[in-house]
Amino acid sequence: MQIVLGLIIGLLMGAGIGYVIRKTQAEKEAGSAEVRAKTVLQDAERQAEATRREALVEAKDEIFRMRSEAEAEVKRRAAEIDKKEDRIAQRETTLDQRSTTLDRKEQTIEGKEEEIQRVRRELEELAGRARSELERVANMTSGDAKQALIEEIEDEAKRDAMVIVRDIEAKAREEGDKRARKIISIAMQR
């Protein structure tokens, strides 16, 4: 029995020693795994922080780039608007100048029409006097008749010249009206 008791005690001691050895190894492995886990966790945290910082820098760069592009676009559009405003102002100035020129031409034409009417009245009066004079000098000498004829021809030439002047002025007035309508049409289209 002592042998059996010795065997039981030996088995119990062996089991106890085995248990202690296994527990120690398990604690070492658990401690080593915990250290590795902490290291992995710290590495992951550092990597996450680095990634976050990198993403933040990239986001700031993207925001800066987008802001720069937006500012450049705003400047470009402002420059285009300024150019368009300058062109519109220039067109308005040109139209004002053309309108003023047309007004002056119209006043000139009206003045010429009045002058034509005055000259026409004078010519009619002169023609009436010439007829009266010719009737009076019907009994003139040859030289006097020649002189009277020359004067009559001169008067007729003046009348013809006035007709030509009137035609030219009418054409000028008509051309001026056409141009005025064209300018106004162009201005309205713009």
Q: How confident is the model at residue 33 (pLDDT cuts 50, 70, 90)?
A: low
Residue-averaged pLDDT of the chain: 80
What is the pTM (predicted TM-score) of this model?
A: 0.36
User: 90 by DSSP, 3-state: which?
Assistant: helix
Question: Could you give the CA distance from residue 49 to residue 18 in angstroms, rounded to a whole number?
Answer: 45
Instruction: Read off the amino acid at residue 88.
Output: I
Question: Could you give the CA distance from residue 125 to residue 46 in angstroms, rounded to a whole number?
Answer: 117
| Widest Cα–Cα separation across the chain | 200
Residues 6+ apart with CB under 8 A from 166: 116
* Structure tokens belonging to residue 107: 């006043």
Q: How confident is the model at residue 183 (pLDDT cuts 50, 70, 90)?
A: confident
Residues 6+ apart with CB under 8 A from 4: none
Instruction: Please give the backbone phi and psi of residue 96, each rounded to the nearest 5 degrees, phi first.
Output: -60, -45
Residue 112: domain span: 2-189
What total number of domains does the chain contain?
1
pLDDT in tens, 124-169: 887 787 777 667 666 667 777 778 778 888 888 888 888 888 888 8
Question: Could you give the CA distance from residue 96 to residue 99 in angstroms, rounded to a whole number?
Answer: 5
Q: How confident is the model at residue 75 (pLDDT cuts 50, 70, 90)?
A: very high
Instruction: Please give the backbone phi and psi of residue 185, each rounded to the nearest 5 degrees, phi first.
Output: -65, -45
